[in-house]
Structure 1
Amino acid sequence: MSTEVRVPTLGESVTEATVATWFKKPGDAVAVDEMLCELETDKVTVEVPSPVAGTLGEIVASEGDTVGVSALLATIAEGAASATAPAAAASPVAETPAETGGSVDVMVPTLGESVTEATVASWFKAVGDTVAQDEMLCELETDKVSVEVPAPAAGVLTEIIAAEGATVEAAAKLAVISSSGGASVAVPNSNDSNNSDVVIFQDGKDVENAPSANKLMAEAGLTAGSVAGTGRDGRVMKEDVQKAIAAGTAAVTTSGASTPAPAAAAPRAPVAAGDASREERVKMTRLRQTIARRLKESQNTAAMLTTYNEVDMTEVMALRNEYKDLFLKKHGVKLGFMSFFTKACIHALKEVPEVNAEIDGTDVVYKNYVHMGIAAGTPTGLVVPVIRDADAMSFAGIEKAIAEKGARARDGKLSMEEMQGGSFTISNGGVYGSLMSSPILNPPQSGILGMHKIQDRPMAINGQVVIRPMMYLALSYDHRIVDGKGAVTFLVRVKEALEDPRRLLMDL
């Protein structure tokens, strides 16, 4: 008996989709609700689960095919799947380790909604190493976040199934830990060749450094105390170690022995001839691939245009300097410029609602709320965490949300949900010294504001030349929905609100 797998309902006004990826091939055993393929529409990505347990028969719609609603995708032969389907796939909880005799399987943890695969970025342990329960074994990269995989049990790592660089699906097996004879081991053996991978704490603080940072420090022969951590609570991140190595400021020491750093950590010697030998080819991370794809899609889809203005920051800076100490004392968070810009944008979006709208097919969807995206640069790439209902927040609420989201972004701890659903975005290139730029839209949004460096410049005011702290502002917008008049009006309202912050209180 066979069961048909058909295209599910794709959503209102969506009539077709493209088959993006098949996770199974004909002859593979599948479990009930195990993901078979992924469909892409012009709005969302849809995962198609298996309706029954069995064996995948014929694939009717191949990758790249365009299919309509209820179209036939494949067939499944029912019957033998209960005995042949992978135990991990049939398990309702992906994180639960599968125990076989004296061994425990290390599985890919839940990666987040709509995320079906990841790339193995780094292994912190090698085959034969002793591991403690909850000790970090490896790091996975998805197109949004990095995921650290802890050991489900204490023992000895006996097999690594997915090597570095391998692409693994959700609930796939990564490695095997032998729990026999090693379960009583709480920390790696001091005689173990990789004992430098033991959890390192920063300067006596009860803060665990990033496992990738520990591995890199061990390879370079560095101690945790010689690297300044920029993560939350002083946590040492991978990029902190890379900066220390590049700057040559970190002390090359090890705990207990003065072992020289491996040759791989030293700068490469100049090559006499051949450009190829002086180049390094590195596979793009999944996050970087997604950034590249989405930015290019934005350019290809939207009729993007940028308008510019400049704002005198005198009043905002004076107000901030006057109240920053009281603000910190009362609210426990510093008063920055981002809350002023967020409030000014919210004020302007009320007057020019098309900048806060999006195009859906032949419809324009106007948002009666502001989910503000705040672009943040991280060591792995640009991410845009979203502050939901920012229009209902106070200055303190906005500053707290920005600080919390920013810290989670730097640590790679943002969830998929925290980076979706934004209606407008602010990007602050000024923190890197940018004087002027044209930000790219974050689809399907219709507007993004670019902030830049504050620079003292001579300005003509009331017939006199005075020095004022000035900032260039850039608004990139989708000309399909936002006219030039609306874009300029929006930017002028932001300028007016910042040059006279009292207008925000008076709703003017």
Structure 2
Amino acid sequence: MPVEIFMPKLGMSMEEGTIVEWLKKKGDPVKKGESVVVISSDKIEKDIEAPEDGVLLEILAEQDETVAVGKVIGYISQKNEVERDQSTTTMKQANLEAAISVETMKPLEAVRRKPRVSPAARKLALEAGIDLNSISGSGPQGRITRADIEKAIQAKRSGSDLQRKKQLEIATMQQKTNNHTGVTVKPITGIRKVIATRMFTSLQQTAQLSIHMRADVTELLEIQKKVRADFLDEHGVKLTITDFIARATILALLAHKQMNSIYQDEHIHTYDSVHLGIAVALENGLIVPVISHAEKLSVKEISAKIKNLSLRAKEGNLESEEMKGSTFTITSLGAYGVEFFTPVLNPPEVGILGVGTVTDTPVFVGDVVQRRSLLPLSLTFDHRVIDGVPASKFLSTIKDYLEKPYKMLI
């Protein structure tokens, strides 16, 4: 019996998946545990392994096709089963060809009768090149009239006009293509398609507003440098400024719980615990692994968690449950030299923090100009849930923690 390959359920909320790529072709041998097909959900891409040794007998869902969870996408069969199926198919084909041969030897049982046509209709049909056998007469006893021929001529002209129009459209498209060399066109699929849909939906269905501030992280960078080596030697953890930003954000969310919310089904769900999403850039898109109950973690534990999730995200080893349930997200473009930008909300969350690159800037401290390190922060929030003033207070609290880093360590 052929073994079925199903579209798996990678998470509780997954209802369908997309075929990203078949790693094997129909007829290829496969071994149990060998990757056969790559599928993607709205969160992750995953290789599906062969459940048994054998041959990939049939592919039922092609690349880029979306399939419901639990539906069969292919079959694996033993080699002897394939040979038996091929033998049966050959026999059926031979029997069919024999039947056709016998049938063609039978005399025609009936001869097509000549249609009844009026002389005027016959003459008009001959001039217009209309096949009388293709016309159903509207006259008495099915007699073909001049009106029937005129209708057939009009239909023929309409068909010719439509064909010429299609040919013109094709020629126009080919001309445009010829005028632009070096163009590669490919459909949006997999994670890229999911991101495109989610971002477009986010902008359409939320009232997004962004505000910006700069935090003076001069002292924070000094502390980071001092403790970095000690933490690396003692705990194997390399502290980064992102770790401190995450900690400051968590503390600010605890102080401003309205921001630690989601907007769903016209209800605001406000959380006591912080489930922090950290955006991770991949080659083919962006995913957001989640640090659950982040308020219970120290800076060291946050750092270890961020690095572990980021590494496994890039290796494609995250579980679906590790990318669900976030109440707030941090995304950063600082490593790419970007200062301020406008992050797009990750629905159903009502807030997302964008982090830019640290820039050394001359700043007046009293009457003295000093070189200070400034960190750009961009907060996007859903105005349906939060107004500008409480959002500004939340961002100011993050800024305060970053500028007075000792408060995060108490």
After TM superposition, the score normalised by the length of structure 1 is 0.58
Q: Residues 175 and 342 (structure 1 numbering): CA distance in 2 closer, same or farther, change over 3 Å?
A: same
Partner of 1:117: 16
Larger Rg: 2
2:212 aligned partner, one-letter code: Y
Aligned counterparts of 1:298 and 1:124: Cα–Cα separation in 2: 34
Q: Residues 169 and 324 (structure 1 numbering): CA distance in 2 closer, same or farther, change over 3 Å?
A: same
Selected match of 1:151 from 31, 45, 50: 50
Aligned counterparts of 2:180 and 2:45: Cα–Cα separation in 1: 31
Partner of 1:104: 3
Partner of 1:230: none
Indicate conservation of the 8 Å contact 1:144/1:286, yes or no.
no
Selected match of 2:178 from 271, 274, 277: 274
Structure 1 residues 206-250: Cα deviation after superposition (integer angstroms, max 9, x where no partner): xxxxxxxxxxxxxxxxxxxxxxxxxxxxxxxxxxxxxxxxxxxxx
- SS, match of residue 438 in structure 1: coil
Partner of 2:217: 313
Indicate conservation of the 8 Å contact 1:455/1:470, yes or no.
yes
Partner of 1:406: 310
2:42 aligned partner, one-letter code: D
Written as runs of structure 1 = structure 2, the 5 A alignment for 1:198-213 is none
Aligned counterparts of 2:33 and 2:268: Cα–Cα separation in 1: 49
1:490 aligned partner, one-letter code: F
- SS, match of residue 178 in structure 2: coil
Q: Residues 124 and 301 (structure 1 numbering): CA distance in 2 closer, same or farther, change over 3 Å?
A: closer
Q: Residues 281 and 353 (structure 1 numbering): CA distance in 2 closer, same or farther, change over 3 Å?
A: same
Q: Residues 405 and 457 (structure 1 numbering): CA distance in 2 closer, same or farther, change over 3 Å?
A: same
- SS, match of residue 471 in structure 1: strand
Partner of 1:367: 271
Indicate conservation of the 8 Å contact 1:155/1:181, yes or no.
no
Q: Residues 311 and 123 (structure 1 numbering): CA distance in 2 closer, same or farther, change over 3 Å?
A: same
Selected match of 2:341 from 428, 431, 437: 437
Written as runs of structure 1 = structure 2, the 5 A alignment for 1:419-434 is 419-434=323-338
- SS, match of residue 364 in structure 2: strand
Q: Residues 490 and 167 (structure 1 numbering): CA distance in 2 closer, same or farther, change over 3 Å?
A: closer
Q: Does 1:175 align with 2:79?
A: no
Aligned counterparts of 1:447 and 1:106: Cα–Cα separation in 2: 40
Higher relative contact order (CA 8 A, sep 6+): 2
Aligned counterparts of 1:360 and 1:137: Cα–Cα separation in 2: 38
Indicate conservation of the 8 Å contact 2:45/2:191, yes or no.
no
Structure 1 residues 17-41: Cα deviation after superposition (integer angstroms, max 9, x where no partner): xxxxxxxxxxxxxxxxxxxxxxxxx
Indicate conservation of the 8 Å contact 2:216/2:373, yes or no.
yes
Aligned counterparts of 1:379 and 1:393: Cα–Cα separation in 2: 30
Partner of 1:285: 189
Aligned counterparts of 1:131 and 1:364: Cα–Cα separation in 2: 50
Indicate conservation of the 8 Å contact 1:339/1:395, yes or no.
yes
Q: CA deviation at 1:387?
A: 0.8
Aligned counterparts of 2:59 and 2:350: Cα–Cα separation in 1: 46
Indicate conservation of the 8 Å contact 1:141/1:285, yes or no.
no
Selected match of 2:255 from 343, 351, 362: 351
Q: Does 1:329 align with 2:194?
A: no
Aligned counterparts of 1:327 and 1:308: Cα–Cα separation in 2: 32
2:26 aligned partner, one-letter code: V
Aligned residues with identical type, % of pairs = 34
Q: Does 1:417 align with 2:316?
A: no
- SS, match of residue 274 in structure 1: helix
Identify the range of structure 1 (452-461 vs 127-136) with the bigger mean alpha-carbon deviation: 127-136
Aligned counterparts of 1:166 and 1:350: Cα–Cα separation in 2: 43
1:163 aligned partner, one-letter code: E
Partner of 1:301: 205
Q: CA deviation at 1:497?
A: 1.0
Partner of 2:32: 133
Instruction: Give the alignment's Cα RMSD to 1 decimal.
Output: 2.5
Aligned counterparts of 2:384 and 2:242: Cα–Cα separation in 1: 28
Q: Residues 276 and 503 (structure 1 numbering): CA distance in 2 closer, same or farther, change over 3 Å?
A: same
1:129 aligned partner, one-letter code: D
Partner of 1:256: none
- SS, match of residue 311 in structure 2: helix
Q: Residues 334 and 457 (structure 1 numbering): CA distance in 2 closer, same or farther, change over 3 Å?
A: same
Aligned counterparts of 2:399 and 2:409: Cα–Cα separation in 1: 15
Q: Does 1:465 align with 2:369?
A: yes
More helix by share: 2
Residue ranges of structure 2 left out of the alignment (5+ in a row): 82-174
Q: CA deviation at 1:276?
A: 5.9
1:354 aligned partner, one-letter code: Q
Partner of 2:169: none
Q: Residues 165 and 354 (structure 1 numbering): CA distance in 2 closer, same or farther, change over 3 Å?
A: closer
Indicate conservation of the 8 Å contact 1:155/1:178, yes or no.
yes
Indicate conservation of the 8 Å contact 2:38/2:45, yes or no.
yes
Structure 1 residues 164-208: Cα deviation after superposition (integer angstroms, max 9, x where no partner): 2333332333333333469xxxxxxxxxxxxxxxxxxxxxxxxxx
Q: CA deviation at 1:361?
A: 5.3
Aligned counterparts of 2:388 and 2:77: Cα–Cα separation in 1: 66
